[in-house]
Structure formats: structure tokens, C-alpha cells
Amino acid sequence: ARLVVLVSGSGTNLQALLDAVAERGESYGARVVAVGADRTSAAGLERAERAGIPTFVCRVKDHATREEWDRALAEATAAYEPDLVVSAGFMKVVGKEFLARFGGRFINTHPALLPSFPGAHGVRDALAYGAKVTGCTVHFVDDGVDTGPVIAQRAVEVLEEDHTDEGAALHERIKEVERGLLVDVVGRLARDGYSIEGRKVRLGHE
């Protein structure tokens, strides 16, 4: 399967996918064909370049409207003919055009156990709520914010000392688990196929 990965930040989830492809080769079932970002500063772009993978940047501010940005992002992504698009710390909500083209094959990783704590501050919000367990979710993207069908989740315990650094250490522990989950899910989707019936995601053909 051909993957296009979208990033905004450090790109450690992207790196985990790149490492899985490098270590497992064809048997992984997927490879990253391009990496896109919504900002030039995304360190994930350098990770892609180091791996010899083409990159593109599509910034909202370079487009007259959000719709035009969305169309440009969809076109840049489509140019690489992906089977799956992965939002790995991509901090933008895509629009109608992008979803029309990639809905049902566009997945996102979120640092909380959805439907709890959606949005840009999933770790901080879980901590502020006083949750004792949080974690990460890989899900298909629909037209809401972190609302699409869940593919897989893993739990991470919240420790007493997590309340002393605004969630930085907790986020790091979540990200360790999240990277493994994302690599696992992408490989399974690519190798086994899948179907989505309503909110239920089924892995495998059948």
C-alpha cells in the first residue's frame, strides 16, 4: 500500500512508520511515498528528506480561502496516488474536498481515548479532568473533530507526578505507545484490508 503521511510537528510517529518500512521491507505491506505538512517548520519534513522521500508543504496562509487550501492539499496528496493517508500529528482539520477524495482511507492518531478529550489538547484536557487512565486512538477521519470510526486504542495510566509538568511527561509516555499502535494499525490495514460499516471497523477481507 502507498502511504502519504501528513505532519505538523516533530514527526516521531512518521519516523516510526519509516523505521517499520526500513526494518520489515515488503513484508510490512506499506511504504511512505510522500510526506506533506501545513508548515515549513515541521521537523517531520526533514525526517522524510533524510529517508529520500518527497515532501510538499501546503500552508493555509498561501491560499485565499480555507476551501482553496483544502483543494490544494487534496491535489498535492492525490498526486502521489495513496492507498492510505495518515494524519500523524497533522494539526489541521481538512475540509469537504479532501474528505470526498480520501474519506474511508484517511486515518488519524489522537493522544487520548476517544470519544473523551478530542481536539488539539487531548493530553492536557485529560489531566485537567483528573482522568486516571488515558491513552491513544487511531481512527478514520470523518467531518467532525476526532469523531470518526475507531480502529484501535491503547491505554496509558496517569501518574500523580504527571500533574507537575502540564502533561509533558504523560504525552511522552502516550507517544511511545501511540507510535507502536500506529505502526501496527497501518500494517494491518495495508496487509489484511478492511471494511467500515457504520461505526464498526472490520479488519480483513470477508
Tell me the catalytic residues: 110
The least CB distance from residue 197 to ligand GRF, in Å, is 26
Alpha-carbon gap, residue 174 to 12, rounded angstroms: 12
Measure CA 132 to chain center: 24
Per the annotation, where are the binding residues for (6R)-10-formyltetrahydrofolate? 66, 108
The least CB distance from residue 87 to ligand GRF, in Å, is 8
The least CB distance from residue 89 to ligand GRF, in Å, is 3
Q: Closest by alpha carbon to 65, among 39, 24, 95?
A: 95
By beta-carbon proximity to ligand GRF, the closer residue of 68 and 180 is 180
Per the annotation, where are the binding residues? 11-13, 66, 108
Q: Which residue is closest to ligand GRF by CB?
A: 89
Report angle CA 182, 186, 189 to the nearest 5 degrees. 140
By beta-carbon proximity to ligand GRF, the closer residue of 88 and 201 is 88
The least CB distance from residue 122 to ligand GRF, in Å, is 7
Q: Which residues are near ligand GRF by CB under 6 A?
A: 7, 9-14, 88-89, 109-111, 175, 178
